[in-house]
Structure 1
Amino acid sequence: MKLQAESFPWHLARPRHWILWIMLSIWWIVTQLPYPILMCLGNLLGAVAFRFDSNRKRIAKRNIDLCFPSWDDLRKKKLLRDNFVSMGKAVFEIGIAWWWSEKRFARLIKFEGTHHLNRDDGKGTVLLGIHYTTLEIGAVAATSICNKLDGMYRAHSNPVFDYIQAKGRISKANKTTRLFERRDVRACLRGLKSGRALWFGPDQDYGLGSGLFAPFFNIPAATVDTTARFSRGGNARVVPFSHVRMPNSSGYKVIFYPPIENFPIGDDLKDAELINGIIEKLILIKPEQYLWVHRRFKNRPEGESNLYF
């Protein structure tokens, strides 16, 4: 578990970490540039990356082909290119989210539906997020307005980057905000039961250890049942939210939607289908800003062949 109030672990200052600290310092310096310039740099970075035949590009193309079979090739190619441009911008948006001052960051954000997140009725809230390329912007924006929001994250293998990532994500939160490693389900449930909120993104392939196959854009996809477990075990409502980049370098719109009604249903498959359907709608708000480079269909039902290469 990570807390904002934790002191700096001085073993990360050892010489073997200096190169990474220098690279992070350069990243910090660059991200202090004016926002429109950063978006132009991101546009350029993404356009350059798109020109290379990388494994990530092949994965993204395959996902788009699978999820939008009725689209013509020109439309799918445009989505793929726009997606790489969006990922290029995300490189700088991470720095914006982690390192800009609260005042400067707040000028970029337009909120809607905050009352759905900030209810004071004693119930917990599962904040249903998805992996947009603006993930860091959305997470930091949410913690900046909710004084009881915790998050789940995957620890990074490099201890320096893990420290920077965790501190960045709670940089604009109060000192009670916690980050739980994604396996720490019990701690998450305790927080929900006490009336706290928890960011959770169930839109990736986490295997079948705690899930099942449910349709995702009409394709069977390994889907965790954790959203329903959190809602049921933590006595919590589920509030979907989106965070998308607006045009013309005008910032971001963060929307909290009404809680999902009559959830969980009690049937694991129906619950998973409902959540995947909501995720699809969130993706379609700005499909070019979704993280298509993830192998969403990595695990397959028995007897089905690998969908990737």
Structure 2
Amino acid sequence: MGKRKQRPTRLSDPRLIPSWVGAGLFWLVGQLPWNALLAIGRGVGHLGWHLVKKRRHVALTNIQLCFPELTAEQQVALAKRSVVSTGEAILEMAGSFNNHRIDLDKRLTIEGMEHIQHARAQGLGVLLLGMHFNSLDVGSRLLGYVLDFYGVYRPNDNPVIDRLIDKGRCNYMKGSVQRSDIRQMVRLLKNGEVLWYAPDQDYGVAHAVFVPFFGIPAATITATSRIARMGKAAVIPCAHYRLPGGRYVIEFGPALEDFPSSDDEQDTARINQTIEYYVRKCPEQYLWVHKRFKHQPAGQAKRY
């Protein structure tokens, strides 16, 4: 068997030329007016629904699993709206990363800021319980208008894309922390900082437990309670929604009471319940194209 080709790691690697061209086009598109970006994004989403069959299948499967109370027609309609919303998110990313002339703060409404203020008044660090809504990247820019915060992220395998995302987000954050760097997260929280952390994706079964998400077993990392415990931080839900007319709202919920407990599995189940509560408010804007139920308990059938 031949050796497996190594992925490029240097930004100057010739194999990354297409990625650099794509990044340039991404910058160019991002200069368009905001409402035009959203309109193009919806077009991209509609096109994606018809052409990107694998992701359409993932979104529809997730919707069928999580919303069994809907009719088949309603499930398809919700899945389609979620894919269209994903298209909007791609163009939002281009604008929020690359167009600093747009005054997005004028489009923003904040709800629940008193929960952040209360935690800070107590001298606590704040672990923002983030969620993978489609508006995640524009959300990082909007959040930076009202808070000095750090964000936790998983590096992209493509160094050009990784640079684009990290640089784009860090324009509005104090800094970023790799998902594997628990020590740095704890250090920041102990110093009274605000840290955005989203545990709502399937990262595999290592350091994870199977707890319900919309009633379906979902592999969920247990690190949230451990980080909160070691960092002595308040855990505050943070959701962000896209409103009609290109406006946005960021909603902070009350800090989770009696969290963390002595039971990591119970804490993790509570995290999923909390996220589910906010997703149900605007389900079409959640990242359903992600294989949230990729891993299942032994003996369970595959979901995708």
TM above 0.5, one fold? yes
Q: Which residue of 2 aligns with 1:183?
A: 180
Matched, 1:255 2:256: no
Q: Which residue of 1 aligns with 2:5?
A: none
Aligned mate of 2:241, from 218, 223, 244? 244
Unaligned runs of 5+ in 2: 1-9
CA contact (8 A) 2:228 2:235 kept: yes
CA contact (8 A) 1:96 1:105 kept: no
CA contact (8 A) 1:242 1:256 kept: yes
CA contact (8 A) 2:34 2:102 kept: no
Q: Percent identity?
A: 37
CA contact (8 A) 1:143 1:170 kept: no
Aligned equivalents of 1:188 and 1:268: distance in 2?
Answer: 18
Aligned residue for 1:91, secondary structure, equals helix
1:26-66 CA-to-partner distances (Å, cap 9, x unmatched) read: 22222221122111111111111111361111111111111
Aligned mate of 2:303, from 294, 304, 307? 307
| Aligned partner letter, 2:169 | R
Matched, 1:217 2:205: no
TM-score by length of 2: 0.91
Aligned residue for 2:90, secondary structure, equals helix
Aligned mate of 1:198, from 192, 195, 200? 195
Unaligned runs of 5+ in 1: 1-10
What is the Cα deviation at residue 290 of structure 1?
A: 0.5
Aligned equivalents of 1:27 and 1:167: distance in 2?
Answer: 14
Aligned residues: 293
Q: Which residue of 2 aligns with 1:8?
A: none
> Aligned ranges for residues 103-114 of structure 1 at < 5 Å?
104-114=103-113
What is the Cα deviation at residue 14 of structure 1?
A: 6.6
Aligned equivalents of 2:180 and 2:125: distance in 1?
Answer: 19
Q: Which residue of 2 aligns with 1:4?
A: none
What is the Cα deviation at residue 294 of structure 1?
A: 1.1
Q: 11-20 vs 161-170, which deviates more?
A: 11-20
CA contact (8 A) 1:137 1:243 kept: no
> Aligned ranges for residues 32-51 of structure 1 at < 5 Å?
32-51=31-50
Q: Which residue of 1 aligns with 2:292?
A: 296
| Aligned partner letter, 2:84 | V
CA RMSD of aligned residues (A): 1.7
Change (3 A) 1:211 1:14: closer
Aligned equivalents of 1:94 and 1:158: distance in 2?
Answer: 17
Change (3 A) 1:265 1:152: same
Aligned mate of 1:278, from 274, 278, 290? 274
Matched, 1:230 2:231: no
